[in-house]
A = this chain, B = another copy of it.
Amino acid sequence: MTNKIDIHYCTGCRWLLRSAWMAQELLTTFEGEISELSLHPGTGGIFEVWVNDHRIWSRKDDGGFPEITKLKQLVRDQIAPGRSLGHSDSKT
């Protein structure tokens, strides 16, 4: 369990709250599989999520924010690819 998540968010856009919410969702769902989750205050409309130095979401490239179920699928694909996320896990 050496997986690291990084969330970069724009402070000027007031995205701390949603970033902290997503952080808690991920730490709850992947308890025992995440060793460190970091919040990085940024600027310029940044919102990115990285797993082990692999970027899984960028607001600018992916268009807005991820649904939380989609975000969990993307994290799961990186750190626990065989695991089902239960009822919220659909083929996307």
Q: Which residues of A contact B (CB under 8 A)?
A: 11, 16-17, 20, 23-24, 27-28, 31-32, 34-41
Contact = CB atoms under 8 A, between A and B. Distances in A.
Contact of A38 (B11, B16, B32, B38): B38
Please give the count of copies of this chain that the complex contains: 2
A39 B41 contact: no
26 contacts: A11-B31, A11-B32, A16-B24, A16-B27, A16-B28, A17-B24, A20-B20, A20-B23, A20-B24, A20-B27, A23-B23, A23-B39, A27-B39, A27-B41, A31-B41, A32-B41, A34-B41, A35-B40, A35-B41, A36-B39, A36-B40, A37-B38, A37-B39, A38-B38, A38-B39, A39-B39
